[in-house]
Structure 1
Amino acid sequence: MKQKIFIYLFVFSILLILFQYVNSKRVFEDMNHKLDGYKAQAERYKDSISVLQDENLDLSHFNFERNEDAISYFENQGYNVAELVPLIKDELYKLNEEKGEHPIIPYASEEGKRMMINTIKLLNHKWIIADFSDGHYWGELFITYQINQDKQLTFSLVESFLYPFN
């Protein structure tokens, strides 16, 4: 009788071990499959990051902060570029506050509204691109700027464009 109990226990333990082996093998294969998926996804993300970095580099080509020659131009004149760039933008934004029509934007706005510069991008030590709008019409400006001996900023409109309203 003891022998039959031991045989039953032995068979039961063999079946339990076999069940554990098959189950753990299935779990292991599932984890490997998920890991392969994560590796492929990580590779796609790396490729995407590389593409976005290249695109960002292309977009920042005409950017004052990345233009060493423009930065050197101001540094050689004794200016602190970190303070100068916000100053230039602030002076251009201050023109939005002047009474009457905007001094740089050559287009009249709708009645009761005012043309204002919204976004400014410094291209180099002489040029600025800006966009403007009155909430209804919008356009873009190409502006040159200079800092004279008295450290006064002067802006000069070179070209402007008003988008047609549909």
Structure 2
Amino acid sequence: MKSRIYLYLFIFAALIALYLAVSGNKRASGNEGRIQELQSNVEDLRDSLQASQLKVLDMQYFSLENNDDALAYYDHLNLDDPSRYISDKLLETNERRGDNPLIPYEGMESDFKLNKIKILNHKWIVVDFSDGKYWGELLLGYELKDDLSVDFTLKDHLLYTRSN
């Protein structure tokens, strides 16, 4: 009787081992497919990241922060961030009541104010402006003087027309 119990236990243990081996093999093969899929996704994400980095570098090309030759004009002024300083000075023109004095249009819905600023180099700035409904862009020239004052000069402008 004891030998039969051991035989049944042995058969039962063998069946459990067989079950575990088969299910483990299926799980391993399923995991291999999942690993290959994830590796493919990682490669796609790596390519997408590289494309995004190239796009960012391309967008930063016309930027004072990345133009060492233009930044050299401001070495003697001891400014930590010339772009920030110039942007702040330009935004101060918004503080005046009414339309911004640099914008050659009168606001139709409210006063025209500057929104976005892109400092291209040591001489030019592109600015977006709006009154909440109508918008346009300016090309400004500027000069940062030794006394840290900034003179802005309107070079060109446009106002987008609404098409309904």
Q: Is the TM value for this pair above 0.5?
A: yes
**Unpaired stretches in structure 2, ≥5 consecutive residues:** none
TM-superposed deviation, 1:8? 2.3
Within-5 A mapping of 1:10-159: 10-75=10-75, 78-110=76-108, 113-159=110-156
Task: List structure 1 runs of 4+ shifted beyond 4 angstroms.
Answer: none
- Measured in 1, the distance between the counterparts of 2:11 and 2:97 equals 97
Is the 1:71–1:81 contact (alpha carbons within 8 Å) kept by the matching residues of 2?
Answer: no
- Counterpart code for 1:98: R
- Counterpart code for 2:92: K
| SS of equivalent to 2:136 | strand
Is the 2:113–2:129 contact (alpha carbons within 8 Å) kept by the matching residues of 1?
Answer: yes
- What's 1:9 paired with? 9
| SS of equivalent to 1:117 | strand
- Measured in 1, the distance between the counterparts of 2:97 and 2:23 equals 80
Q: Identity of aligned pairs, percent?
A: 36
With the length of structure 1 as denominator, give the TM-score of the two structures.
Answer: 0.90
Root mean square deviation of aligned Cα: 1.6
TM-superposed deviation, 1:157? 0.4
| SS of equivalent to 1:82 | coil
- Measured in 1, the distance between the counterparts of 2:21 and 2:139 equals 73
- Counterpart code for 1:35: I
TM-superposed deviation, 1:150? 3.9
Change (3 A) 1:3 1:163: same
- Measured in 2, the distance between the counterparts of 1:84 and 1:17 equals 72
- Measured in 1, the distance between the counterparts of 2:147 and 2:79 equals 17
**Unpaired stretches in structure 1, ≥5 consecutive residues:** none
Change (3 A) 1:17 1:144: same
With the length of structure 2 as denominator, give the TM-score of the two structures.
Answer: 0.91
